Structure 1
Amino acid sequence: MSDPQNEVDNDLLVARKRAAFSVLLNLTLAVVKGIAGVISGSAALIGDAIHSATDVFASGVALAGLWIAGKKHPSFPFGLYKAENIATLVISIAVIVVAYEIGRDALLGGSSIPDASLALPVAVGSLVVATAFGLYQMREGRRLGSPALMADARDYLVDGASTCVVIVGLIGAYLGYALDRWAAGAVSLFVFWAGFQLLKDAVRDLLDAAMPKKLVREVMELVEQQPQVARVIECIGRQAGGRFIVNLDVLLRTDDHKTADRIGDRLEKSVKVAFPRIVMVHVRTHFGHDDERRRLTPVVEPGGAAAEGLASAPWFMLEVIHGKSGEVEERTYHENPHKDAEKRKGLLVGQWLMGLRPDELVVPDNHAGTAVVLLEEAGVVMLPK
């Protein structure tokens, strides 16, 4: 079974490499567009170069945030994952400042027709590079659960959109129209909108935004499929820099404190393994509510006698028993799909039986094996035959 914490650390390492490459790419775009803008006299392209230069700083902040997010310190028991959100906040402020500067220059500057023969090919090339890398960075950010990378990707895509406006202005210049100043003003609006969206997202996450409802439902479904779990009373999760911290209140079909503690520990591990973005889980168990019990018995055939073995039993009888009266409310039979397995039979049968969510398992005298151990660890009570 993989270590969920190792997966989180590996994702952070990969995200740092993506952010480092982004710094170099933004620096290249800024230099190329800046030189072409100055030589051609295009205010719009110079503004776009300033945008890319700010992206160099933004990508550097994202890289620093990802580096800090991977650190551990006893003063921060919930981790430093929100360093990514702080990085996103800094990025948003920088982008808004740049939008203001570009807009101010567009309003106060004079009208001129730049040399489009040099500026236009540079703008088109920058558009292709920024858009392609932005889409790639967004995909990787979602895969790694990194808000800093996704913020960086959105910045690239907005940079591509603003470059489109620059291209329109340069095409106008090529045709003899002085559209460069208006293109620069439009670029400032694109940049401001991107900065505002980043600012909104960063503040939302820093204020402990709730975990997505879809993920809450998936966590509850996973927990309610486990043995001895009657239902999830409440599941509350909050964001922490692209990761999540979850609190669960779970109703168990047992009145034993030790069993409840063991089930709680297992649930915490199971949730983190199934959802690597969840870095911390706290399960509070509630028990003593014995309204029903689910008992499994190995049998030779439906309605037949009890089987002598467990993993090789052809069938299993599942009985739902009323907790107080002891009466059988429901009885179903399930054929063992792994009875003839040549390898790892005990493990396969044990995992299959777990899916039936038993509270009790009737086993032959002195019977042991992988299936029994697996079910015991899940809190299933072993009843002698």
Structure 2
Amino acid sequence: MLKMVKISSLMKGALVLFSCKIVLFLLKIIFGILINSLALIADAINSGADFIISIGLIIGIILTERPPSKKYPYGLHKSENFIELFISFGIFYAAYTILREAIFKFGTIQTTNPSLGLLISGISIGISVILMFYLNRIGKTSNSPMFIAESKDLKVDIFATALVFVAIGGNFFGITILEPIAGIIVSIFIFKIGLEIFIHSTKVLLDAVMNYEELNSIRQLIEAQPKVIAVESLRARSAGRFTFLETEIKTSIKLLKNAQVLSESLEASIRKQYPFISKIIIHIEPEKKEFLRHAVPLQEHMGMQSLISPHFGSAKYFLLYDLKQDKIFNLNFIENPFLDQEKRKGILVADWLASKGIDKVLVKEPLKGGGKLAIETHLIETQVTDFNSINEIIL
């Protein structure tokens, strides 16, 4: 029994492109020679270059689909951009060849069977239009620079073949000069599309991926997180159709658990705004604080005799103090400013404590509801204590 092998959509697209390029090249070169059409032969040279490029496209896909290794931890995705670069060289060569033929044979050649030339040109245009839409769809859905480059190249091919169609048609009226003119115009447009592909591929290979506005927007998004003190570094690089983002941030977080929560929150926020980023690496550097600031909810303000409140949002007072190497200082009893609020007390108190730079809250019972969510959002640690009064904490 034969084993079915699944072929990726990219490989299918490359094989379809490869087949169509063979057909287009053979059609144009054979009939171009038969009817002695300079314009059709020039168009065949363009298709011939595309045929060679499509072979490189298949090789590029095979390489990019290989999994990452120790030697290539990011995979071989940048091979797509190398292939894209070679595509631009192929386009440059095609433009040069067509321009040379058009200039050297200017006004010295005449097509013998223009009707057949028009038929071949029309068939070529039809095939190229269908192929262009097909490759463009694959390129956009997979974010593949190779297929996007090929779809752009096909736009030029369609325009080039349309000029050839017009130029060959000119033979019916004895205007033979149209074919070399068409060849010159086609070569200029081909060179332009090759230059665009060349610039894009070299930018990616040199890691010039995201513009300043995009990176600055990501920096602002990270800095908006309450526990982020500073963005130490922010870099983006691309490999083929994949974009990688790496950042190093300084935070006021002490616990590894909270650092993981922050990392996941930042990654989700970045991906929501920039879904095309394939991988995000966040290095979190904890702030080297001289002390940790704690908060304790209280039933009443009775100094060191104050009892710890079993409630969070409804606590009448809070004790704020700093802790350094098991030494407590800067004790401050503050009345709950949101005690009279009917709703959202827990959330408002959590926001208020975050503004005071609180690192940890000591509570009698685990937090619930909005207060719990708000505390977690601010990445403030909570600790359930068996102590009943401030005296027990201090002593």
Q: TM-score, normalised by structure 1?
A: 0.71
Instruction: Provide the residue aligned with 1:278 in structure 2.
Output: 278
What are the residue-to-residue correspondences of 1:267-346 with 2, within 5 Å?
270=268, 274=272, 275=275, 277-288=277-288, 303=338, 316-317=347-348, 318-321=350-353, 326=356
SS of aligned partner of 2:352: strand
Distance in 2, matches of 1:90 and 1:230, equals: 45
Instruction: Provide the residue aligned with 1:82 in structure 2.
Output: 78
Contact 2:57 2:146 in 1 (8 A): yes
Instruction: Provide the residue aligned with 2:393 in structure 1.
Output: none
Name the aligned partner's letter for residue 127 of structure 1: I
Specify whether residues 286 and 13 from structure 1 end up closer, same or farther in structure 2 by C-alpha distance, changes over 3 A only. farther
Instruction: Provide the residue aligned with 1:188 in structure 2.
Output: 187
Once the two structures are overlaid, the 10-residue window that deviates more, 59-68 or 12-21, is 12-21
Specify whether residues 201 and 380 from structure 1 end up closer, same or farther in structure 2 by C-alpha distance, changes over 3 A only. same
Specify whether residues 320 and 82 from structure 1 end up closer, same or farther in structure 2 by C-alpha distance, changes over 3 A only. same
Q: For residues 124-169 of structure 1, what are the alpha-carbon distances to aligned partners after superposition, in whole Å with 9 as ceiling and x for unaligned?
A: 3322432443244234323322111111111111111211221221
Instruction: Provide the residue aligned with 1:347 in structure 2.
Output: none
Distance in 2, matches of 1:359 and 1:140, equals: 50
Q: Does 1:163 align with 2:194?
A: no
Contact 1:40 1:116 in 2 (8 A): yes
SS of aligned partner of 1:78: coil
Q: Does 1:27 align with 2:22?
A: yes
Name the aligned partner's letter for residue 115 of structure 1: N
SS of aligned partner of 1:319: helix
Contact 1:228 1:359 in 2 (8 A): no
Instruction: Provide the residue aligned with 1:67 in structure 2.
Output: 62
Return the offset for 1:209: 1.2
Return the offset for 1:361: 8.2
Return the offset for 1:373: 9.4
Instruction: Provide the residue aligned with 2:42 in structure 1.
Output: 47
Name the aligned partner's letter for residue 209 of structure 1: A
Distance in 1, matches of 2:181 and 2:21, equals: 24
Instruction: Provide the residue aligned with 1:150 in structure 2.
Output: 148
Name the aligned partner's letter for residue 56 of structure 2: V
Distance in 2, matches of 1:378 and 1:14, equals: 44
Contact 2:262 2:379 in 1 (8 A): no
Contact 2:21 2:48 in 1 (8 A): yes
SS of aligned partner of 2:182: helix
Distance in 2, matches of 1:363 and 1:60, equals: 67
Q: For residues 178-235 of structure 1, what are the alpha-carbon distances to aligned partners after superposition, in whole Å with 9 as ceiling and x for unaligned?
A: 0212222322222222223322222222122132345435544654565633564542
Return the offset for 1:177: 0.8
Name the aligned partner's letter for residue 167 of structure 1: F
Distance in 2, matches of 1:374 and 1:144, equals: 38
Specify whether residues 87 and 158 from structure 1 end up closer, same or farther in structure 2 by C-alpha distance, changes over 3 A only. same
Contact 2:251 2:284 in 1 (8 A): no
Which consecutive unaligned segments of at least 5 residues does structure 1 have? Answer: 1-9, 328-357
Contact 1:33 1:122 in 2 (8 A): yes
SS of aligned partner of 1:80: coil
Distance in 2, matches of 1:289 and 1:118, equals: 83
What are the residue-to-residue correspondences of 1:349-368 with 2, within 5 Å?
365-366=365-366
The structure with higher relative contact order (CA 8 Å, sep 6+) is: 1
Name the aligned partner's letter for residue 206 of structure 2: L
Distance in 1, matches of 2:169 and 2:123, equals: 15
Specify whether residues 375 and 269 from structure 1 end up closer, same or farther in structure 2 by C-alpha distance, changes over 3 A only. farther
Specify whether residues 380 and 315 from structure 1 end up closer, same or farther in structure 2 by C-alpha distance, changes over 3 A only. closer
Contact 1:151 1:198 in 2 (8 A): yes
Q: Does 1:201 align with 2:200?
A: yes
Which consecutive unaligned segments of at least 5 residues does structure 2 have? Answer: 1-5, 296-311, 315-336, 386-395
Specify whether residues 67 and 360 from structure 1 end up closer, same or farther in structure 2 by C-alpha distance, changes over 3 A only. farther
Distance in 2, matches of 1:286 and 1:187, equals: 60
Specify whether residues 321 and 156 from structure 1 end up closer, same or farther in structure 2 by C-alpha distance, changes over 3 A only. same
Once the two structures are overlaid, the 10-residue window that deviates more, 16-25 or 44-53, is 16-25
The RMSD of aligned alpha carbons is 4.1
Specify whether residues 315 and 69 from structure 1 end up closer, same or farther in structure 2 by C-alpha distance, changes over 3 A only. same
Name the aligned partner's letter for residue 190 of structure 1: F
Name the aligned partner's letter for residue 15 of structure 1: L
Instruction: Provide the residue aligned with 2:174 in structure 1.
Output: 176
SS of aligned partner of 2:94: helix
Name the aligned partner's letter for residue 168 of structure 2: L
Distance in 1, matches of 2:377 and 2:71, equals: 33
Q: How many residues align?
A: 335
Q: For residues 285-314 of structure 1, what are the alpha-carbon distances to aligned partners after superposition, in whole Å with 9 as ceiling and x for unaligned?
A: 352579xx9x9x667xx956799xxxx989
Contact 2:360 2:381 in 1 (8 A): yes
Distance in 2, matches of 1:313 and 1:320, equals: 12
SS of aligned partner of 1:244: strand
Contact 1:267 1:283 in 2 (8 A): no
Instruction: Provide the residue aligned with 2:304 in structure 1.
Output: none
